[in-house]
Amino acid sequence: MPLVARVFVTRQLVGPALERLATAGYQVDLWEAREPPPRRDLVARARQADALLCTLADPIDAAFLDACPHLRVISSCAVGTDNVDLEAARARGIPVGNTPGVLTDATADLAFALLLAAARRLPQTSAAVLNGEWGPWEPAGFLGHDVAGATLGIVGAGRIGTAVAQRAQGFGMEVLTTTSRGGTPLPSLLERSDFVSLHVPLTPQTRGLIGAEQLARMQPTAILVNTARGPVVDTRALIDALHAGRIAGAALDVTDPEPLPVDHPLLHAPNVLVTPHIGSATPRTRARMAELAVDNVLAGLAGEPLPHPVAP
């Protein structure tokens, strides 16, 4: 009697997608804890698995793959796959899948929400109310930045960047874009934009893309928004720019490191808003991501091409 294929799932997912694996006759090994499995547990559980359904919190490198010789497919419940050594997986004949497309609107919504919140200083003004600092109305009190008619620079005009640009049209914003294939050159975009929103994948070319030199090009009234990946921005350079007033503020859903320790200096820099990587955090979006991730697992175990493959 043939052995039943085993799927190691590194986190509880939203919705009923995992039930499809059991219905298909596969054994599901689910990591039940809220925190991601430590490296030792990740390897120990995956070593027994034929398929891995992981998240961005799980580092999948060459050493991990060498320790898990039975793996036939890796499915990441995310768009980004910077946690997976794609070349190492390809060299071992292991297809890797992700969940593209379904989180575009949710992430674009959050990016624009961060832009608006930072522009109108919502964290600071809300804190002022809670701290009893809401005094009589005054003309110069709690001044923020205009969004309507402002210039928005989008770095990386893929699915999410394009969706953010569509939202900006409703505010009458001038939109500048730069991509690896053209558009407005990055230096010019930084110099002309009132808001800069990052939407590039994390690659060797984009790591540290926004550093001290790029921040110095931005206007002192400009706000940086990052819903891409934390290491796209040089954290130390951003902290220095905020303290020096070289930019007006930053709104970040992703950071480097992630999660940030509560005593990290970025959290205590002026005019910074940080959310805990919630770009795709709506029930519909997370459930759909789970469905796509399971689609990849089922195809991989059946020896079929993945419906949502990632190219090395």
Q: Which sequence positions are flagged as catalytic?
A: 229, 258, 277
* Sheet containing 96-97, strands listed edge to edge, beginning at the edge strand earlier in sequence: 27-30, 6-9, 51-54, 73-76, 96-97
Cβ-count burial 153-173 (b if 16+ within 10 Å, e if not): bbbbbbbbbbbbbebbeeeeb
The whole-angstrom separation of Cα 211 and Cα 178 is 17
Place of tokens 């009132």: 194
What is the per-residue DSSP string for 219-266?
Answer: -TT-EEEE-S-GGGB-HHHHHHHHHHTSSSEEEESS-SSSSPPTT-GG
Cβ-count burial 115-129 (b if 16+ within 10 Å, e if not): bbbbbbbbbbeeeee
**Residue 194 DSSP code:** S
Rg (CA), the chain: 22
What tokens were used for 254?
């992703």
**Residue 71 DSSP code:** -
What tokens were used for 268?
């205590």
Q: Quick one: which of 194, 116, 112 has its CA closest to 161?
A: 112
Instruction: Determine contact, residues 184/161, Cβ cutoff 8 Å.
Output: no
In terms of residues, how long is the chain? 312
Instruction: Determine contact, residues 10/284, Cβ cutoff 8 Å.
Output: no
What tokens were used for 243?
């303290």
